[in-house]
Structure 1
Amino acid sequence: MKLIIRLLLNAVAVVVLSKLLDGIYVDSYTTAIIVAVVLSILNLLVKPVLVILTLPITIVTLGLFMLVINALIVLLADKLIDGFSVSSIWMAMLFSILLCVLQSILYSVLKADKK
């Protein structure tokens, strides 16, 4: 049940960011749910491989290269999902940063409601 709530919160975050940012487009709420699921799967499977492959450059840049890895994950999701589009890598980087911030806010509100 916790996983479903987190996926729905991610979908809400994707919809909110698509409304705020001009370079992000999401067809419908169903597409936003699919984007949330695909981003979760890509973060689970692809991101660790990319982190290991780019470990030297990540260390040299003091971890800032992780922003590029997150943007690449978003662009990969863009290629896999038809109703989701990202205009550039800079927009994907901004989207990934804002998605992380919005997710942490939503998760903290969810934890505060349970206490």
Structure 2
Amino acid sequence: MRWIASLVLNALALMLVDYLFEGFTINGFWIALLASVILAVLNTIVKPILVLLTLPITVLTLGLFLFVINAITLMFTQALLGEHFVIEGWFVAIIAAVVLSILNVVINKLTRD
């Protein structure tokens, strides 16, 4: 049940980022929910591999490179969803990753208690 609540809250977070940034577009709640599921799968499978491969640069940047890795997972999600989920450039993806990371801290706090 917590996992479903987390997915729905992440979808709402994606929609909030869509509202905040012009270069970040999601076509509706169901696409945001699907993007949330895809991001959850990518964060479970792909992100640990990317973190391991980029560990030296992550250490050198004191962990800030993790935002780039989160942006990469957002771009992968965009590639899978096509025209329904559009991120216009890497700068928007990195800023969206930062905002989503902050929102995910709040979401994780809400769903764990």
* TM-score relative to the length of structure 2: 0.91
Q: By how many angstroms is 1:89 displaced?
A: 0.8
Q: In 1, Cα distance between the equivalents of 2:25 and 2:34? A: 13
Indicate how the Cα distance of structure 1 residues 110 and 79 shifts in structure 2: closer, same or farther if over 3 A, else same.
same
- Would you identify which runs of 4 or more consecutive aligned residues in structure 1 move more than 3 Å? 106-111
What is the Cα-based RMSD across aligned positions, in Å?
1.4
- The structure showing larger relative contact order (alpha-carbon pairs under 8 Å, at least 6 residues apart) is 2
In structure 2, the residue matched to 1:42 is 42
Q: In 2, Cα distance between the equivalents of 1:104 and 1:56? A: 25
After superposition, what is the alpha-carbon deviation per residue over 1:67-101, rounded to whole angstroms, capped at 9, x for unaligned? 11111111111101121010011111111111121
- Structure label with greater radius of gyration: 1
Q: By how many angstroms is 1:107 displaced?
A: 4.0
In structure 1, the residue matched to 2:25 is 25
> Paired residues, what number?
112
Please tell me the residue identity of whatever aligns with 1:102: L
Please tell me the residue identity of whatever aligns with 1:65: F
Q: In 1, Cα distance between the equivalents of 2:63 and 2:90? A: 18
Q: In 1, Cα distance between the equivalents of 2:52 and 2:45? A: 12
Unaligned runs of 5+ in 1: none
Contact 2:6–2:107 under 8 Å retained in 1: no
In structure 2, the residue matched to 1:84 is 85
Q: In 2, Cα distance between the equivalents of 1:106 and 1:61? A: 26
Q: By how many angstroms is 1:103 displaced?
A: 2.5
Indicate how the Cα distance of structure 1 residues 5 and 12 shifts in structure 2: closer, same or farther if over 3 A, else same.
same
Q: By how many angstroms is 1:110 displaced?
A: 5.2
Q: By how many angstroms is 1:105 displaced?
A: 2.6
